[in-house]
Amino acid sequence: MHEKLNIGIILGSTREGRVSPLVGEWVKTIADQRGDAHYEIVDIKDYQLPLLGEGDAPGIAKWNGKLAELDGFVFIVQEYNHSLAASLKNALDLAREAWNNKAAGIVSYGSTGGARAAEHLRGIMGELMIADVRTHPTLSLFHDFTGQEFTPQDVHLETVNLMLDQVNAWGSALKPLRK
């Protein structure tokens, strides 16, 4: 049997009142039931990252160190002005090699399921040599949230599991390319 991968569930938003921790915990609960990998929540907010080029805060090294421990990612992506949150883009920009040759899935949300933000993220992942898998659970602000509460429909369970199957398969396949 091969070693279990370390998969980080990355919370993209950092604003006061964000719902990303609810979505991330929901994904982690589903993921932990599988027993096929080590899943952990990685909260960008914990690293207190400066904007790129505006200082050499200790959080940058810590952020790169955390990413280096991981074999794959699930990005929790929220749509801001038809794109991804600036906090996530900045966190992506603040590392390079630590992203390379790893697999990733996306779970997004927004009025149209966060699809526009997710497609922007896919372009960025190409540059960072992150292999983004096809299956992509999209959560609707109208159907999967009730006010500030997160009330996901059952239909997403299968899609989340399929996405995790793909992240694990590609994360394992790319292992020889990682140093």
Ligand X SMILES: Cc1cc2nc3c(=O)[nH]c(=O)nc-3n(C[C@H](O)[C@H](O)[C@H](O)COP(=O)(O)O)c2cc1C
Alpha carbons 55 and 178: distance in angstroms, whole number: 29
| Neighbouring residues of 28: CB distance < 8 A, sequence distance ≥ 6 | 9, 39, 40, 41
Report residue 21 as tokens: 């921790």
Cβ nearer to ligand X, comparing 150 with 172: 150
- Residue from 5, 8, 20, 44 binding ligand X (CB under 6 A): 20
Q: Taking CB under 6 A as the rule, does residue 28 contact ligand X?
A: no
Residue from 24, 105, 110, 152 in contact with ligand X (CB under 6 A): 110
Which CB, 24 or 105, lies closer to ligand X? Answer: 24
Binding mask 63-102 for ligand X (x = CB under 6 A): ---------------xxxxx--------------------
Integer CA distances (angstroms), 110 to 47, 49, 52, 94, 101, in order? 25, 25, 26, 25, 29
| Least spacing, CB of residue 120 vs ligand X, in Å | 11
Q: What is the DSSP letter of 144?
A: S
- 102 phi and psi angles, rounded to 5 deg: -125, 160
Q: Which is nearer to ligand X, 119 or 165 (CB)?
A: 119
Q: Is 13 in the site for ligand X (CB under 6 A)?
A: yes
Q: Determine the size of the site formed for ligand X (CB under 6 A).
A: 13
Asked whether the beta carbons of 7 and 71 are under 8 A apart, the reply is yes
Site stretch for ligand X (CB under 6 A), options 14-22, 35-43, 152-160, 167-175: 14-22
Q: How far is the CB of 161 from ligand X (least distance, A)?
A: 23
Pairing type for strands 145-146 and 149-150 reads antiparallel
Find the binder of ligand X among 29, 48, 111, 153 (CB under 6 A).
Answer: 111
108 touches ligand X (CB under 6 A): no
DSSP secondary structure string, 22-52? HHHHHHHHHHHTT-SEEEEEEEGGGG-PPPT
Site for ligand X, rule CB under 6 A: 13, 15, 18-20, 78-82, 110-112
